[in-house]
Structure 1
Amino acid sequence: MPATTMPPFRVLGLSPDTVDYRSAWDLQQDLHARVVEGSSPGTVLLLEHTAVYTAGKRTEPADLPDDGSPVVDVDRGGKLTWHGPGQLVCYPVVRLADPAAVKEYVWFLEEVLIRTLADLGLAGERVDGRSGVWILGGTDVHGRTTPDRKIAAIGLRVNHGVSMHGFALNCSNSLAAYEHIVACGITDAGSTTLSVETGRTITPADVLATVRGHFAALAPGHLAPVDPIMNTLRKEPLQ
């Protein structure tokens, strides 16, 4: 039986059944250890979080919430960000095809997001020197200048060739939480959502299948092949 590049997808919870951040992080760490030891093919986790601020390794004091909200320090790269209802989070806990090709893996995740946006009529862009996916600013029909707006964040940890964490796509979430932080350490740009940019409500559930489809289509060459027999046998619930 030929190998496949795709471990299984697993939806942990979508609104109103949001997922506690620490619980999902514990799950990632357990799954990561099993992928490293070779007892699991990995899993691509999809979910919405209960509202939380998380601080990556490069977070600085000036980035922290100005209203005293609690922050979870986490082992991913990047700075401070927010997760919560209305935002689709994807945590691929997977073995990379080339452990040294982290930049290429980031490109792959960005491309999944860019193609998802394109299906909704939006032009998602990469910005040199800034991670994630952006809607570029410009001049609107009223002659007003609009800034670049971040619509998806990426933050990763790759250890022993196996990735943790992933991306967060703003779908229908409120942007109020971003008013209290310097999101991702960026002071000269804003944040936005699929719903704001399209003018209609688009929830994480609405884009789930699209994200999964693009992820699976783009995975070859970026994720290490996994044994289909292991993929079949390792379907016990992850606790």
Structure 2
Amino acid sequence: MADPARVLDLGRRRYAPVLALQRALHAAVAEGRAPETWLVVEHEPVITLGRNAKTSNLLVSSGLLAARGVDVVEVERGGDVTYHGPGQIVVYPIRKLPRFREIVPLVGAIENAVIDTLRQFGIEAQRRAEHRGVYVGGDAICAVGLAVRRMTSMHGLALNVTTALDYDRLITPCGTPEFGITSIAAQTCRDVARDDVRDALLESLAGGFGVTYACDVLAPGAPLPFPANTSLELA
């Protein structure tokens, strides 16, 4: 029987409170106080800087970014510079790993689930061993960046659904100037419903990881459900 996992669809949120929720859930899952949890979210515009981020890949000053309403946040995931914003589906799997060597297969399983999802929308995509993520030809459609601490994962994937594709004017996405960027909408030349992509993606992830989901969709503006026994305030 597949192991149960909780899915929380947070809707559209700013990045900072969701990062705080991730970290609180990570501690709770690592300590056995909470079940495996997958967060689904659409972020307000934000640029995240991974552990290997190069400042040269940030193409606009922090002052100009702030004036445009784009947050900049340093995070503990691997990788370089990544943009999140409206029109993306972001998924953060917070799950205990049975063995440390499961990290690379975890990334591969995420990429395979995204590729399977895209195929359902008529899009053929590929992995690249030298640059993690999912690509359609020479264009990135999904970024993947994880952190694993205390044998528990956090951070995850960002899939472009109807994302505005001019964010490469702000950053060099993932530090790879040789690749462009694309989205499901750009590839299919039609409007794509976020919930349709979310459902297909979650189904592919469930199959790839052998889990079943108990889903909970938060109403717009509802407080984030921080785990018990944490000092974090609801945001």
| TM-score tier (shorter) | 0.7 to 0.9
Partner residue of 2:49 out of 47, 55, 60: 55
Matched, 1:153 2:147: no
Count of residues in correspondence between the two structures: 210
Residue 196 of structure 1 corresponds to which residue in structure 2? 186
Partner residue of 2:26 out of 13, 32, 37: 32
Structure 1: stretches of 5+ with no match in the other structure: 137-147, 232-236
Deviation at 1:100, TM superposition (A): 1.8
Q: Which amino acid aligns with 2:6?
A: P
CA distance in structure 2 between the partners assigned to 1:6 and 1:49 by the alignment? 26
Alignment TM-score, normalising by the size of structure 2:
0.84
CA RMSD of aligned residues (A): 1.8
Residue 104 of structure 1 corresponds to which residue in structure 2? 105
* Runs of 4 or more consecutive aligned structure 1 residues displaced over 4 Å after TM superposition: none
Q: What percentage of aligned pairs have identical amino acids?
A: 32
**Pairs within 5 Å for 1:1-40:** 4-13=2-11, 18-40=12-34
C-alpha distance after superposition, 1:83-128 (max 9, x if no partner)? 0110000001111233321110001000110000000111110113
Q: Give SS of 2:190's match.
A: coil
Q: Which amino acid aligns with 2:205?
A: F
Matched, 1:238 2:229: no
Structure 2: stretches of 5+ with no match in the other structure: 66-70, 215-223, 227-235
CA distance in structure 2 between the partners assigned to 1:44 and 1:6 by the alignment? 11
Matched, 1:86 2:76: no
Q: Give SS of 1:8's match.
A: strand
CA distance in structure 2 between the partners assigned to 1:185 and 1:203 by the alignment? 29
Residue 207 of structure 1 corresponds to which residue in structure 2? 197
Residue 144 of structure 1 corresponds to which residue in structure 2? none
Q: Which amino acid aligns with 1:196?
A: A
Residue 117 of structure 1 corresponds to which residue in structure 2? 118
Q: Which has the larger radius of gyration?
A: 1
Alignment TM-score, normalising by the size of structure 1:
0.83
CA distance in structure 2 between the partners assigned to 1:119 and 1:47 by the alignment? 21
Residue 140 of structure 1 corresponds to which residue in structure 2? none
CA distance in structure 2 between the partners assigned to 1:208 and 1:58 by the alignment? 29
